[in-house]
Amino acid sequence: MRAVIQRVNRAGVTVDDVQIAAIGSGLLVLLGVEVGDDQRDAEYLAEKTARLRIFEDSAEKMNLSVLDCAGEVLVVSQFTLLADCRKGRRPGFSAAALPEIAAPLCDYFVAQLKGRGVKVQTGQFQADMAVDLINDGPVTILLDSHRNF
């Protein structure tokens, strides 16, 4: 399971010209589910996401988590995070889990965040979404349940 985590001042998702989710200060999480991922991957990433200390404290050091600063999280599924661009010019997506596997794991990831006390909103799985955000910093972190960066 792979996540791109962006610290944001605000973020939102629109589907068919209707805003379906919006958060203030917090994290935008773009989430990709890989073939072979399971609940342990979702639990690992949820714990990392909830406790990742990338918000500044009073000394302007990245020392606070989204929980510490009462921030919100917007989770948007994004299979393209699993793109393989090593051959040719067209990305391959064979590493991305099929929707019937990915959707429940995305839901489980969201439930795991909520279970840790995080306020969470989501995009719409498999929808053509417009995601808008104002980066804070910018701070962008890559997390992968299978690799260390």
List residues bridging with 122 in a β-sheet. 75
Active-site annotation holder among 6, 49, 55, 79 = 79
| Distance separating alpha carbons of residues 104 and 31, to the nearest angstrom | 13
Q: Tell me the three state secondary structure of residue 55.
A: strand
Q: Is 49 a catalytic residue?
A: no
Residues 129 and 100: their CA atoms lie apart, in Å, by: 19
Distance CA 119, CA 68 (A): 12
C-alpha distances in angstroms, 145 versus 8, 13, 40, 138? 23, 25, 9, 23
Active-site hit among 6, 14, 49, 78: 78
What residues have CB less than 8 Å from 85, skipping those under 6 apart?
Answer: 91, 92
**14 flagged as catalytic:** no
The alpha carbon dihedral of 21, 25, 26, 29 has a sign of positive
- Out of 19, 39, 80, 126, the active site residue is 80
Residue 78 a catalytic site member: yes
Residues assigned a catalytic role: 78-80
